[in-house]
Amino acid sequence: MALGHTRLDVRRQHQQHAASSSCCSAPAVAAFVGLCLVAVWTASSALVTPADFSPFQAPLWRRAAAPAEGNAPPAVVSDEEAADNQEPPAADRQQAGSTEKAKGADEQQSAAEKPEEKPDEKPKAKKVEAEVFPDAKDAELLNQTAMEPGPWRTQAAESNTETNERTNASSSVQAASHSWKLCDVDAGADYIPCLDNVEAIRKLRSDKHYEHRERHCPEEAPTCLVPLPPGYRSPIRWPESRDQIWYSNVPHTKLVEYKGHQNWVNVSGEHLVFPGGGTQFKRGALHYIDFIQEAKKDVAWGKRTRVVLDVGCGVASFGGYLFDRDVLTMSFAPKDEHEAQVQFALERGIPAISAVMGTKRLPFPGGVFDAVHCARCRVPWHIEGGKLLLELNRLLRPGGYFVWSATPVYQKLPEDVEIWEAMSALTRSMCWNVVNKVKDRINRVGVAIFQKPMDNRCYDGRSAANPPLCGEFDNPDAAWNVSLQSCMHKLPRDPTMRGLRWPEEWPLRVEKPPYWLKSSETGVYGKPAPEDFQADYEHWKRVISNSYMEGLGIDWSAVRNVMDMKAVYGGFAAALRNMKVWVMNVVPIDSPDTLPIIYERGLFGLYHDWCESFSTYPRSYDLVHANHLFSKIKKRCELLGVIVEVDRIVRPEGRLIVRDDMETIREVESIVKSLHWEVRLSYSQDNEGLLFVQKTMWRPNTSSS
């Protein structure tokens, strides 16, 4: 795929053409070409600088380094090597654009007339093919063509929510047009706009069902910047980060006081240290994980059980150590008196979100988690008709396991006995089977393992319909701002529907289209759904292998927490699966609802509306990827607020990769420049652009007050 040429390519081709047209002898030609190349290289230091690179120029990774002998193709230049380069005058840029057609003819003639390479010459520099955009045959990957009606409804439609159309400014945001200020809020460096909306929380009529821990977003997206904690420094890298983090990055000690004796977290000098324990596994998470598998062999961590939901995760040591068993865990806990527990998890490099089991459904589709885990998660499952446990039933895959470790399982105090009896009656009425109840003598705790049925036989044979079955039009995948329901969804009967069969074992499931993707259905990009799935996967494998691993100069050892802001089939995350990273796949509520496919692959993610803040702490992610998101979202809300949210969740020295149309690329580039982000690369081909930027430690000196 042709990717264009730099001005250096143009100069070199003209020099080569002049030399090849000469009547001189072959040695003279060779000498003349050599002198020309040396002269070109000497002048090339005045060509480009990555920080000021215009989006209309050719890609930085195709600019030339010191030329190898002969007519070697240009090699990749590192950011450090390019830092001394300077931008040429505007006249040079215009000349480069006007010679585009002549350049192609010169290139063909030079290739035909160049002298043969001698056997004793040095090998040519390796050419890096940057697969930035889809090949011609997969050009539809640039646009989502699937529209309603059809199999790809959006989460907004499924949840029957109304999204307000907001006025979008048509002009670009200039780099110097905004006066940035720090957010003047009580939460300070830990500010989460939709969870720290003090004004909205004060107006709540009740907090009985943890309404005050749920999302209450401000009417206008904040445009202030979250400050850094004093003494903030680059995070410790994975896997060392699982065991210790910098205290200055998350300077909170309440959990040390409350849970230090349970081996959650301790302070050691300038570090917070995580021994790997928890309330139910003081002797270590790995022993506890293996104990669960011994209690039920079919759990089969990392094979049958790949994607787990951990309720009330604490500092997420359970999920952190499940990585050793090839298991991906979505951990969540509320932002409550257990100060910064989710922030500890993310700083450690363990996936987690801030959420609560309150009055709304969790932002996940139905029937996608292979197992759900609760270790003393403080959720009253048995009350109010089991409404909260019924939400787990919605999320749990048919045949999946609920692992419950709490005092009612193994203690005989009157309150514990009462709760166990209530849970036993509730789970029987839900057709869950207790497959084992066993005590761990080392940790001195017990575990009860329940299994959700695989079919409707038990539902059909119940003597009393309590809890009742959900109505015919109650969609189990509708999850965005949908109130909890005290009902159960019937399981599929059609053998071609999702949920009737267990997915392939990991890692086979990540490669193969799910069995329920039908060729008769049109995929997001317009092909038959299984072909669409495969084309998306192959595209992202090429992009990551040929561009992101080589061309962008990313230090992948510094990348652990990754977010795909607009995941489709999860191809981006799947292509990164052999890296030591995890990817939070976000399916926007106004995009085709493909999140069940992502879970079927053994990956995970959630629904979100990018006109609102994400339910995570500041400084959560090392790399954020946005593929054709911003051009769509700016039709509903101000792009400035969305980029400020990206600035909030990305760590200092973290990275943002944007792929979008050129108008949007220019807008984003202008905003991030005003935020003092460093533009590492800006590239265009036709009207498609790629922007790669890196956040700095910069923060403004004044607050919004």
Give the tens place of pLDDT for each residue, 57-80.
Answer: 333 332 223 333 333 333 333 333
The pair of structure tokens assigned to 113 is: 């007339």
| Residue 512 pLDDT > 60 | yes
Number of domains in the chain: 2
Question: Among 5-19, 58-72, 409-423, 651-665, whose mean pLDDT is lowest?
Answer: 58-72
Specify whether 455 is located in the same domain as 552: no
Partnered with residue 403 across adjacent β-strands are 373, 449
| Residue 340 pLDDT > 90 | no
Specify whether 289 is located in the same domain as 424: yes
- Whole-number pLDDT of residue 296: 97
Residue 262 pLDDT level (bands cut at 50, 70, 90): low
pTM, 2 dp: 0.80
Task: Name, in order, each residue with C-beta under 8 angstroms of 202's C-beta and a sequence gap of 6 or more.
Answer: none
**6-20, 121-135, 527-541: range with highest mean pLDDT:** 527-541
- Whole-number pLDDT of residue 253: 83
Q: Over the chain, what is the mean pLDDT?
A: 81
Residue 21 pLDDT level (bands cut at 50, 70, 90): very low
Alpha helices in 150-247 (DSSP H): 155-158, 198-202
| Residue 19 pLDDT > 60 | no
| Residue 15 pLDDT > 60 | no
Mean pLDDT of 545-569: 95
Residue type, 56: F
What is the full DSSP assignment across 303-371?
Answer: TTB-EEEEES-TT-HHHHHHGGGT-EEEEEE-SSSSTTHHHHHHHHT--EEE---SSB--SS-SS-EEE
Instruction: Of 87, 63, 88, give the one whose Cα is nearest residue 77.
Output: 63
Q: Could you tell me what percent of the chain has a pLDDT over 70?
A: 74
Specify whether 297 is located in the same domain as 426: yes
- Whole-number pLDDT of residue 140: 63
Residues 205, 207, 208, 214: is their CA dihedral positive or negative?
A: positive
| Residue 702 pLDDT > 60 | yes
Question: Among 455-459, 492-496, 650-654, whose mean pLDDT is lowest?
Answer: 492-496
- Whole-number pLDDT of residue 704: 77
- Whole-number pLDDT of residue 291: 94
The Cβ-side half-sphere exposure at 178, using a 13 Å CA radius, reads 23
Specify whether 580 is located in the same domain as 458: no
Three-state DSSP at 66 gives coil
The Cα–Cα gap between 644 and 222 comes to 8
Instruction: Of 15, 10, 3, give the one whose Cα is nearest residue 113.
Output: 15
Residue 280 pLDDT level (bands cut at 50, 70, 90): confident
Contact between residue 700 and residue 227 where contact means Cβ atoms under 8 Å apart: no
Is the residue at 611 inside a domain?
Answer: yes
| Residue 283 pLDDT > 80 | no
The Cα–Cα gap between 341 and 335 comes to 8
What is the b/e burial string over 539-577, where b = at least 16 CB atoms within 10 angstroms of the residue's CB?
A: bbbbbbebbbebbbbbeeebbbbbbbbbbbbbbbbbbbb
- Whole-number pLDDT of residue 139: 61
Mean pLDDT of 551-556: 92
- Of 420, 443, 463, the domain-final residue: 463
Is the residue at 327 inside a domain?
Answer: yes
The Cβ-side half-sphere exposure at 697, using a 13 Å CA radius, reads 8
- Whole-number pLDDT of residue 158: 82
Q: Report the Cα–Cα distance between both ends of the chain, in Å, rounded.
A: 52
Strand 266-268 relative to strand 271-273, pairing: antiparallel
Specify whether 631 is located in the same domain as 560: yes
Specify whether 683 is located in the same domain as 615: yes
Specify whether 342 is located in the same domain as 451: yes
Range of the domain at 339: 279-463
Is the residue at 544 inside a domain?
Answer: yes
- Give the CATH number of the domain where residue 543 resides: 3.40.50.150
| Residue 51 pLDDT > 50 | no
Instruction: Of 369, 372, 403, 397, give the one whose Cα is nearest residue 491.
Output: 397
- Of 463, 479, 499, the domain-final residue: 463
| Residue 88 pLDDT > 50 | no
Specify whether 343 is located in the same domain as 406: yes
- Whole-number pLDDT of residue 263: 64
Question: Among 1-5, 144-148, 356-360, whose mean pLDDT is lowest?
Answer: 1-5
Specify whether 459 is located in the same domain as 522: no
Instruction: Of 631, 681, 632, give the one whose Cα is nearest residue 655.
Output: 681
Is the residue at 530 inside a domain?
Answer: yes
Task: Name, in order, each residue with C-beta under 8 angstroms of 536's C-beta and a sequence gap of 6 or more.
Answer: 141, 524, 525, 568, 569, 571
Contact between residue 37 and residue 44 where contact means Cβ atoms under 8 Å apart: no
Contact between residue 566 and residue 624 where contact means Cβ atoms under 8 Å apart: no
Residue 168 pLDDT level (bands cut at 50, 70, 90): very low
| Residue 11 pLDDT > 80 | no
- Whole-number pLDDT of residue 81: 37
Is the residue at 450 inside a domain?
Answer: yes
| Residue 121 pLDDT > 50 | no
- Whole-number pLDDT of residue 381: 96
Contact between residue 563 and residue 177 where contact means Cβ atoms under 8 Å apart: no
Query: Radius of gyration of the chain from Cα atoms?
Result: 28
Specify whether 434 is located in the same domain as 291: yes
Instruction: Of 594, 571, 602, give the one whose Cα is nearest residue 504.
Output: 602
Specify whether 588 is located in the same domain as 678: yes
Is the residue at 486 inside a domain?
Answer: no
Higher pLDDT, 562 or 117: 562
Mean pLDDT of 29-46: 38
Task: Tell me how crowded residue 84 is: count the other CB atoms within 10 A of its CB.
Answer: 9
- Whole-number pLDDT of residue 356: 96
- Whole-number pLDDT of residue 442: 86
Specify whether 304 is located in the same domain as 387: yes
Strands (E) located in 337-490: 352-354, 369-375, 396-405, 433-440, 445-451
- Whole-number pLDDT of residue 148: 43
Residue 149 pLDDT level (bands cut at 50, 70, 90): very low
Give the tens place of pLDDT for each residue, 183-241.
Answer: 999 999 999 999 999 999 999 999 999 999 999 999 999 999 999 999 999 999 999 99
Give the tens place of pLDDT for each residue, 363-405.
Answer: 999 999 999 999 988 899 999 999 999 999 999 999 999 999 9
Is the residue at 43 inside a domain?
Answer: no
Output phi, psi for 314, to 5 deg.
Answer: 65, -130
Residue 463 pLDDT level (bands cut at 50, 70, 90): confident
| Residue 54 pLDDT > 80 | no
Is the residue at 374 inside a domain?
Answer: yes
